[in-house]
Structure 1
Amino acid sequence: MSKRGVAASLRRILGLAAVTAALLAPTVVVPVAQSQPGVAEIQRVEWLSDRRVALTVHSPAMNTPIQVQMLLARDWNSHPDAKFPMMLMLDGLRAMDDENGWTKDADAEGFYADKNVNVVLPVGGQSSWYTDWLSPDNGRTYKWETFLTKELPPLLERDWRTTDVRGVEGLSMGGTAAMNLAGRNPGLMKFVASYSGLLTTTTLGMPQAIGFANKDAGGFDAVAMWGPPGGPEWAAHDPYLLADQLKGVSMYVSSGSGLAGTHDHASADVPLLSDNWAGTGLEILSRLSTQNFVAKLEKLAIPVQASYRPAGTHTWPYWDFEMRQSWPQAAKALGVDEGGAECGAGGAIGGVAQVANWLGNCLTGEYHSGPAIVQDFANGRVFFSPATGAHPVSGRIGGAYTGFGGASSPLGLPTGEERGLPDGRGRLQTFEGGSIYWTPQTGAQVIRGALLDAWDKQGFEGGPLGYPTAAEARTPSRDGAVQSFEHGPLFYSAATGVHRVQGFILDKYGQLGFENSPLGFPVADEAPIKDFGHFSRFEGGSIYWSPLSGAWSVRNGPVSDAWAAQGFENGRLGYPTSDEFPVAGGVQQNFQTGFIVVRDGKPEVHGV
């Protein structure tokens, strides 16, 4: 019986039918079939927490996958039929390819935890200005405006419970882009905010400043973006010149003065200034362009909320502040409450929340989800049933659990708390129908059923396979499942059970087509044989490997029977040195010291 709680014993009691059903359930990371040409599609979904997901979206316009992270609305879990407005958050000039700055350098995740909007965070786009470039440059084909306005929104509305009520906010480059997206696409946005954006792009010296910035941040050429300064594309992407297109949009703009503020380190040489000279200059430039933009709006009698701070440079703490300051206006424009749930935690869930104070404030009241009573908190959820008690689920493990289907999935309810493992590397949480394991290298992975039992017998994470690196997946053409681990996969079918394949034998198995090859599923684990060799048995034959001969398959049939009669690898022929291949009138297979030919079903053994 498994040493990891009652889950394994329950699986054995339920029997093979239940195990088979469990093995064929959905996976945590959801791949989508290869996108059709010209069609935007979500290729992959990875749950980072119970309300944060990373989507890999194929962009036909850019002909590349784009990562988009989402912070799901406060009531996403408690109201599974509800849809929510979108808040698009654009990054700055040095946007990185691993994470959007609003979660990496600011606390958008914490701030929006109790807000009822789906926050959309595109990842990447350094120096792109989130626009469609005239030509590729520096290895990138930037078509961000098409992606953000035409390709992405329909996918979020179709698959991610997002309405067509939208807002956009951005800092610096993203602030300029936010105004351009709203102005160039009338009716797309209900709310737009620019924090330290450059809101005049064609005034004297501004094209040259943008060109210098693009070169400095990644070596991009602004001519590839909008053509030579003074050309029509520069005018078409100037918020100042698009001001009349922003009528009816709720607008918020802000900038500091460039003087040292509370989040700056004062210069030792010049009083009142920061030692961040670049941040000082950029904020002064933003202040001047923002004031000009606001003056233009006032001439057009178009309302705008302007926040001019008496101090502050071009840095993240001020943009985080402005995100919070502008929220009441954004909430009104998007038609949602300002946040701050009216809730309290009591009973068994309240007791857990009191001890696990890292959960933070409650976001919802208690609600039913499958067989459980659940309550959401800022940093996780607590699940309760009389049979299992109350247990928190959070972080990457919480994301894997939610992505797998939560309390209504074959995992069932949590049966214990998340805990560290003896190797000091991984973490584990047990559930009624399995477990979720996490390490920084492998992520959070669900393992259960016959696969978990087999892994248990091999020593869990301390055994030859290491930690799981992916969720179980159906084998595509035959009725079975496979799960990958650090040192090889486990294959399952109802007829053969669960067995591991690894190393050079796994490589050969893959070359032949895995379970779709004539070998079929493995029927035994790899075993050692003479001269440091190894072999694995399969439904339709075996694969043998030794340091001198390499890895080769021997299929069941006359060749295998004749080789067996010689003593397998211990006989006069030694190890195989080829797979079976056709010859005139039959088939042949080569060995270290000879070969076997089969014609008309009769084997001929030839030694050397």
Structure 2
Amino acid sequence: MAGKNRARGGTTGRSGRRTRRGLAVLAAALVLPFAAAQVPAPAQPTAAAAPATIRNVVWHSDRHVEVWVNSPAMGAPIQVRLLLARDWNTQPNAKFPVLYMLDGLRATDDDSGWIKETGAVDFFADKNVTTVLPVGGQASFYSDWLQPNNGKNYKWETFLTKELPPLLESQWRATSTRGIAGLSMGGTAAMFLAARNPDFAKFAASYSGFLTTTSTGMPQAIQLAMADAGGFDAEAMWGPPGSPQWEEHDPLYLADRLKGKSLYISSGTGASGKHDEGSEIPGVSTNMFGTGLETLSLITSQNFIGKLHELHIPATVNYRSAGTHTWPYWDFEMRQSWAQAASALGVPAAKPACVSGGAIDVVVAGNGWLGDCLTGEYRVPGGLAQDFRHGRVFYTPEGGAHPVAGRIGGGYQAAAGPQGGLGLPVGGEAPLPDGRGRFQPFQQGALYWTPETGAQMVRGAILAEWGRQGFEGGPAKYPVGPEVKTPNRDGAVQSFEGGPFYFSPATGAHRVEGLILGKYAELGFENSWLGFPAAPEFPLKDLGRYSRFEGGNIYWSPLSGAWAVRNGPIMDVWRDAGFENGRLGFPISDEFAIPGGSQQNFQHGFITVRDNRAELHGL
């Protein structure tokens, strides 16, 4: 039940304050021994009928990835952050163990608390595991709920243990060796998920978790906390207190199922520590909510450890002499527990020794933000590379050494890095004149980035035509997606803020925009009789415009709208009549069938075709 630190603020409103005070008082009052009992082995969650699929991937850096997963169990896309293993780049065929890091009761839908509130990204940068950070799940206890509540259909246990692992193993080079750790609510879940799913995790850690859910007063404390965190009803989760589901998610009752696992349990005392703001009373923090919750965590953890001792199950225990229920202590425990997690997952706890030299060392010396090296130099197609805590440096004899990092580093990874279509960097990252974006040049193109569009690769004929139009300062503005192959014809398309560029070997690269693009889309893009665009868009009289395509043209004016005219008899007659400047004016329909032929209407008449012979009809 993660309490907010002071920087994030607290619940507002009288009822919110009453709930938090009530929970703090209840938590502080529950300083008494908790009874333990044995129950039959819990039922396992039912696997999803359909496999999960990846919906979208956003690269935040070369090893920090935002993955959106379509969850059949929850019926919604779920965000997962991945911090890829240290040797992800140096060993492209290797697979790596996985460490899940679960959030607390106040988990948000935008990002993991481990990323926002701790140094997890930097800490795991030199660890040879892939760290998995589920996003969302506020007040969920990462369990499968009995029924939807407050707009959520929580089936987190199925998602984490059944749907996500196959995707990680098939698409993100993960092994089946897993650990799981969590803070507060996530610490509770880490223990019962490891117990309920015996083959899921070799390591389980609870940082300030609540390691019983059914002992005296605990269901009420959980109910109050869930209501305070977001208006959730605990009975929708596990039914009324005393129902079997509460015991089936109680780490104390499930302790015997943790035999053979590497366990780490930690908690503070609730007394004011170095990360707390003290009150006028020595040892007492002004964070009463955090004090009460940490006291409750300590008592439940002690009872859980007592149960483990009865069962002769070893565990590492760290009871800190002070500290409330706040993020800095969980950041500390993440670091303290790493050596044990690394041992359980079969990876070294420390990074290997490494140094940089030559041209790469010169770049590192001038760019201290890169941090320490994580690997030695290694070969990539066309040159050398070396990984650092905050980026990579690439070297070619012709182009020298250049760093690639941050969102552009993520865009480079999304474009397959040195193995992809960009080649190696030939210059450093630089700001653009508009003050909005940044770019970096590569051997075969460039990467452009803005906060709104992300990092996108532009290359070849599309880059040349975009440049002719003024790059980001022209009408196309910035790219908003990657170049993709057109599915049914030999060509490619790339979306920009001002309209997409289409390319084919026969026509070159041309941009389509506005209402002409709308008509092109209506007819089926390049798969229609129009084919690929064959020329830029041109202005016409009366503010009109037109674009030429392989199979005809699209015309637009404010009075007539956008319509396509096919190459052939109708186009020939309209041309002979002077196009839009002649007696017919602009088209006001597409070509359509009539008995024995076809017809197309114009502002001042129409053209019919029968037996391949066209006739003009004026009004």
So what's the TM-score if we normalise by structure 2? 0.90
Relative to structure 1, is the Cα distance of residues 600 and 267 closer, same or farther in structure 2, using a 3 angstrom cutoff? Answer: farther
8 A contact 1:341–1:362 mirrored in 2: no
Specify which of 157, 160, 163 is matched with residue 151 of structure 1.
Answer: 163
| Pairing partner for 1:378 from 384, 389, 398 | 389
Deviations 1:272-320 (A, max 9, x none): 3323232222222212211111111112121111211222121111111
The SS at the match of 2:535 is: coil
4+ residue runs of structure 1 moved beyond 4 angstroms? none
Give yes or no for contact 2:383–2:397 (8 Å, CA) kept in 1.
Answer: no
Residue 120, structure 1, aligned to residue 127, structure 2:
no
CA distance in 1, matches of 2:472, 2:289: 49
The residue number in structure 2 matching 1:263 is 275
Name the SS of the counterpart of 1:82 in structure 2. Answer: coil
Matching residue of 2:18 = none
Using the alignment, how far apart are the partners of 1:598 and 1:206 within structure 2? 82
C-alpha contact (below 8 Å) 2:82/2:130 kept by paired residues = yes
Paired position in structure 2 for 1:45 = 57
Give me the whole-angstrom Cα distance separating, in 2, the residues matched to 1:496 and 1:480. 9
Percent identity (aligned)? 63
SS of the residue 2:240 aligns to:
coil
Asked if structure 2 preserves the Cα contact closer than 8 Å seen for 1:435 and 1:448, the reply is: yes
Length, aligned pairs only = 572
Q: Paired residue for 1:490?
A: 501
Seen in structure 2, the aligned counterparts of structure 1 residues 283 and 583 have a Cα distance that, compared at 3 Å, is same
Choose from 122, 126, 132 the match for 1:110.
122
Distance in 2 (CA, whole Å) between partners of 1:259 and 1:585 is 91
On the 8 A contact 1:491/1:522 being kept in 2, the answer is: yes
**Candidates 243, 267, 287, aligned match of 1:276:** 287
Q: Which amino acid in structure 2 is aligned with residue 354 of structure 1?
A: A
Q: Tell me which of 335, 355, 361 is aligned to 1:350.
A: 361
1:476 equivalenced with 2:519 (yes/no) = no
Name 1:316's counterpart in structure 2. Answer: 327
Deviations, residues 369-404 of structure 1 (Å, cap 9, x unaligned): 222111110011111121111111111111121222
- Once the two structures are superposed, residues 428-486 of structure 1 have per-residue CA deviations (whole angstroms, 9 ceiling, x without a partner) of 11111111111111100111111111111111110110011111000111110001111
1:448 is matched with: 459
Partner secondary structure for residue 279 of structure 1: helix
Question: Is the deviation greater in 451-460 or in 573-582?
Answer: 573-582
Distance 1:367 1:600, change over 3 A: same
Letter in 1 for 2:136: G
Instruction: For 1:185, give the aligned amino acid.
Output: N
Stretch moving more, 49-58 or 248-257: 49-58
Change (3 A) 1:551 1:333: same
Higher relative contact order (CA 8 A, sep 6+): 1
Distance change in 2, residues 1:216/1:552 (3 Å): farther
1:58 aligned residue (51, 63, 70) = 70
Give secondary structure in 1 for the equivalent of 2:457: strand
C-alpha deviation, 1:497, in angstroms: 0.4
Q: Does 1:526 align with 2:543?
A: no
Shift of 1:601: 2.2
| Correspondence list, 1:154-169, <5 A | 154-169=166-181
Which AA in structure 1 matches 2:59?
W
Tell me which moved more, 106-115 or 340-349.
340-349
Query: Counterpart of 1:186 in structure 2: which amino acid?
Result: P
Please give the per-residue CA displacement for 1:21-65, whole angstroms capped at 9, x wherever unaligned.
Answer: xxxxxxxxxxxxxxx981222233332211122222222222222
Answer with 449-458 or 341-350: which moved more. Answer: 341-350
The equivalent residue for 1:291 is 302
Q: Following the alignment from structure 1 to structure 2, what is the Cα–Cα distance between the partners of residues 478 and 384?
A: 37
The whole-number CA distance in structure 2 between the counterparts of 1:335 and 1:375 is 24
CA distance in 1: counterparts of 2:265 and 2:520, whole angstroms: 60
RMSD of the alignment, in Å? 1.6
Tell whether the 8 Å contact from 1:240 to 1:293 is kept in structure 2 after alignment: yes
Check the 8 A contact 1:86/1:167 in 2, yes or no: yes
How far apart, CA to CA, are the structure 1 residues paired with 2:503 and 2:49? Answer: 34
- Partner residue of 1:366? 377
Alignment of 1:501-512 (within 5 A): 501-512=512-523
Amino acid paired to 1:138: N
Query: Which sits farther off after the overlay, 493-502 or 574-583?
Result: 574-583
Task: Name which of structure 1's ranges 383-392 and 38-47 shifts more when overlaid on structure 2.
Answer: 38-47
Partner-residue secondary structure (3-state), 2:337: helix
How far apart, CA to CA, are the structure 1 residues paired with 2:140 and 2:563?
51
| Structure 2 residue 435 is matched with structure 1 residue 427 | no
CA contact under 8 A between 2:272 and 2:284: conserved in structure 1?
A: yes
TM-score after normalising by structure 1: 0.91
- Quick one: which of 163, 182, 196 aligns to 1:184? 196
Counterparts of 1:37 and 1:456 in 2: how far apart (Å)?
50
Q: Retained in 1: the 8 A contact 2:447–2:458?
A: yes
1:170 aligns with 2:186: no
Q: Per-residue displacement from partner, 1:305-354 (whole Å, max 9, x unpaired)?
A: 12112221211111111100111111111111112330111111111111
Aligned residue among 247, 252, 255 for 1:243: 255
Deviation at 1:201, TM superposition (A): 0.6
- In 1, Cα distance between the equivalents of 2:224 and 2:614? 76
Matching residue of 1:131: 143
**Shift of residue 85 of structure 1?**
1.0
1:574 Cα shift? Answer: 1.8
